Structure 1
């Protein structure tokens, strides 16, 4: 923490650098996916491993290059400002870039004093309408609807993460395939976290669509993923891990944002972490009380091992049913907050 410093900024160039970071993340995810799949198809020779590892290191170094470039541009802009203050002739290249940036800025007429007072009053009203503390949130129906939805989604998703290697072993996957599944699941998890926020933002800003609807969609996808795992057909875990991984990551992206929008940002950290308890509680319930219990019942031998789809079929059908129940809970939250999103959240977004 001692190495972190805050810098105030009012430039529009930050967005392009943030987009560059996002693009690099997606490139690394795609590259790792390709390498993992190639490793499963045919083991790579030593030279190919060295080359792929070198390329991966270069990709990991790209964010540092983006940060250096951002710092250099910020320094050039600061130097240009000093030159203008001293009356010196500016660098023509830098001056041209600054002029282009200024031309791209839209200037609007400032509102009157009465208009500013109304805007400030509206800001205060919007802040008061959705700024609950933990106790107030616990007494609301929306809190428990979101908690139950996360219990159904995050709990069952984490239960699959905890048992994916053992599931693969029971279905006769090789050790390399099981390791690959764990790695691929992390990538699908990342894509879900990255994409859900982006997609839900588009629908929220353009159509005023309440974000809980996307929780219902991800729970429906997760339910299908659990059914695929329960089916036990050849290579089913690859498809099942994609569906469950993307849905699981999406819910971790949507839940904190929905928490801040419904309950306000004043106590968002406390409320968010309280709702996040649904993840370990759900994981314990599904992993120990359902998956572990059923596995012990159908297992055989001294070490109580189990092979075949029967080991986890019933467990994942139960989790699919729970996730499907979560769809209705999330839809109820969506209908309960739809008017609130239009009256408060969407109006706040348009105002700012």
Structure 2
């Protein structure tokens, strides 16, 4: 009986904590455990930690996919802003922890459980697909994104400055509160855009000259059709078929129109007559082709002809299983794996790297990498968006450039020259961030947005996989081997928990050489991928986009 009561009590406690974890991104569970209301075993803690860790992926996917569908012509900029704030969020919450929570870790867990959840509940009705309103607002959209980008850069610089100030200067208790209030002003500054749009709508002010007909899509399609007498550009199939039956043959109609409207050509030379005849033949051929297509579609609809489904081409909507059999998917996965895998290896081992080179306080390097990571994500998206619009340069070119820089960064770390850890941390953060702002829009442009959530999260597996392989296995093994050599030579040092500590530039030198080789492989794979998909970007982003099947055909 006592066993059953204890079992029921533990089951009830776990169910309560499970519900708390689901609705508070897992942090509510940790808060309840911190105040010692419940006691759980390790397996139950594992389940709750899994809920908390994966909650961020749900929010990330929902926001990212929705925003990319709402702004398909600014994918790089959108991804750069969203991914940049993911990297900057740690510094934002750290500032709140210092200024408002007075270093109380229990209150921090409560804050992380309540505030993000409340923000998500308040904004979930706003994060939804919104139909486009036409090309008239492209310039306004670009100005708005430039404004948000400027605010983001200013916020990153502000956080960097106050981080150094709080680290080096002893301040009164109220000063961090004031600094946090200024940070909040930066965070709410982008709200000026929807507020301005709402006020313009209320007062009937248009950002562009919307008096031109046909430039803006109406909210109700029937309203537009009732106010205009123009026929739609693509009438239904039955209407076209009826018009075809009541009209004379295409060849005769075109010839009659051409001869009735053609002026006296006695003064024209023979070359101009030939051009007019060629144009008339082109019109006849086009009309015949449209008639044949209409007959084919009608036959398919009646069941007389069965048309086999073709595989999607680049730029069309792929399902995950269709993308997994494409070489482009695996090339993109491997290039992303090489870049972020080597980058996260340095980030995970930054404490030991600094300690091995004689830096016992690595907080400055962590801050440099965090800020540079944000700037890399933001700048990589904006830079690729600019050049893809101006010259149709594939985004993957910039991923290859970032990996070339990473090769020199790893060699710089291996040399362990004075000051290289400072410069290398900045360059590493920039290049690491570029990979995220390039991979995401590239995947959407190659495989479409309909099933993008599944494809995107499948590609991001490269990040933890690279961390496990390069950081957990290769770097850890090589570090322990160098530490064992030190112990054999009488230079054994002990760290916290009685673990062996290796000191000297040789501790990670071989690891950095391996990382440089991996990045070299990534450069080769990146430019192979760029060569394969270059025609897709020419077809999508050239001045007169009219992509052909050969341009978008997926290579096996």
- Do 2:399 and 2:435's aligned partners in 1 also have CA atoms closer than 8 Å? yes
Q: CA deviation at 1:348?
A: 9.7
| Counterpart-to-counterpart distance in 2, 1:281 and 1:243 | 23
After superposition, the C-alpha distances for 1:69-126 in whole angstroms (9 at most, x for unaligned) are 4454344334324xxxxxxxxxxxxxxxx26x344x594768x9686579xx9xxx9x
- Do 2:394 and 2:537's aligned partners in 1 also have CA atoms closer than 8 Å? yes
Aligned pairs for 1:313-324 (under 5 A) are 313-324=509-520
Q: Which residues of structure 2 form unaligned runs of 5+?
A: 1-119, 216-229, 236-285, 287-292, 294-309, 547-556
- Do 2:151 and 2:190's aligned partners in 1 also have CA atoms closer than 8 Å? no
TM-score (norm 2): 0.52
Match of 1:304 among 493, 496, 500: 500
- Do 1:24 and 1:59's aligned partners in 2 also have CA atoms closer than 8 Å? no
SS in structure 2 at match of 1:203? helix
Match of 1:151 among 327, 337, 342: 337
- Do 1:132 and 1:267's aligned partners in 2 also have CA atoms closer than 8 Å? yes
Q: CA deviation at 1:242?
A: 1.2
Residue-pair matches, total: 319
Aligned pairs for 1:224-239 (under 5 A) are 224-239=408-423
Match of 1:258 among 425, 431, 442: 442
Residues 113, 62 of structure 1: alpha-carbon distance in 2 compared, 3 angstrom cutoff: same
Residues 265, 79 of structure 1: alpha-carbon distance in 2 compared, 3 angstrom cutoff: closer
Residues 57, 223 of structure 1: alpha-carbon distance in 2 compared, 3 angstrom cutoff: farther
- Do 1:205 and 1:349's aligned partners in 2 also have CA atoms closer than 8 Å? no
Q: Given the alignment of the two structures, is residue 45 of structure 1 paired with residue 170 of structure 2, yes or no? A: yes
| Counterpart-to-counterpart distance in 2, 1:137 and 1:349 | 28
Q: CA deviation at 1:63?
A: 3.3
Aligned pairs for 1:167-186 (under 5 A) are 167-175=353-361, 178-186=362-370
SS in structure 1 at match of 2:352? helix
Partner of 1:95: none
Match of 2:178 among 30, 51, 54: 54
Q: CA deviation at 1:147?
A: 1.0
| Counterpart-to-counterpart distance in 1, 2:381 and 2:480 | 39
| Counterpart-to-counterpart distance in 1, 2:464 and 2:360 | 29
Greater gyration radius: 2
> Which of the pair is proportionally richer in helix?
1
Aligned pairs for 1:203-282 (under 5 A) are 203-282=387-466
- Do 2:151 and 2:189's aligned partners in 1 also have CA atoms closer than 8 Å? no
- Do 1:36 and 1:180's aligned partners in 2 also have CA atoms closer than 8 Å? no
Aligned pairs for 1:1-352 (under 5 A) are 1-4=120-123, 5-6=125-126, 12=137, 16-36=143-163, 43-46=168-171, 51=175, 54-67=178-191, 69-81=192-204, 98=205, 101-103=207-209, 107=212, 129=314, 130-175=316-361, 178-299=362-483, 300=487, 301=492, 303-343=499-539, 345-346=540-541
Q: CA deviation at 1:22?
A: 2.2
Alignment root-mean-square deviation, CA? 3.1
After superposition, the C-alpha distances for 1:128-179 in whole angstroms (9 at most, x for unaligned) are 652211111111111111111111101111111101111111111132xx01
Q: Which residues of structure 1 form unaligned runs of 5+?
A: 82-97
| Counterpart-to-counterpart distance in 1, 2:351 and 2:366 | 7
Residues 116, 165 of structure 1: alpha-carbon distance in 2 compared, 3 angstrom cutoff: farther
Residues 338, 79 of structure 1: alpha-carbon distance in 2 compared, 3 angstrom cutoff: closer
Q: CA deviation at 1:38?
A: 6.1
- Do 2:162 and 2:179's aligned partners in 1 also have CA atoms closer than 8 Å? no
Residues 128, 310 of structure 1: alpha-carbon distance in 2 compared, 3 angstrom cutoff: closer
Residues 340, 317 of structure 1: alpha-carbon distance in 2 compared, 3 angstrom cutoff: same
Residues 14, 212 of structure 1: alpha-carbon distance in 2 compared, 3 angstrom cutoff: closer
Q: CA deviation at 1:44?
A: 1.8
Residues 204, 55 of structure 1: alpha-carbon distance in 2 compared, 3 angstrom cutoff: same
After superposition, the C-alpha distances for 1:307-352 in whole angstroms (9 at most, x for unaligned) are 1110101101110110111001000000011112222x3259958x
After superposition, the C-alpha distances for 1:160-207 in whole angstroms (9 at most, x for unaligned) are 1101111111111132xx011112111111001000010001111010
| Counterpart-to-counterpart distance in 2, 1:75 and 1:325 | 51
Q: CA deviation at 1:36?
A: 4.6
- Do 2:317 and 2:450's aligned partners in 1 also have CA atoms closer than 8 Å? yes
Residues 155, 78 of structure 1: alpha-carbon distance in 2 compared, 3 angstrom cutoff: same
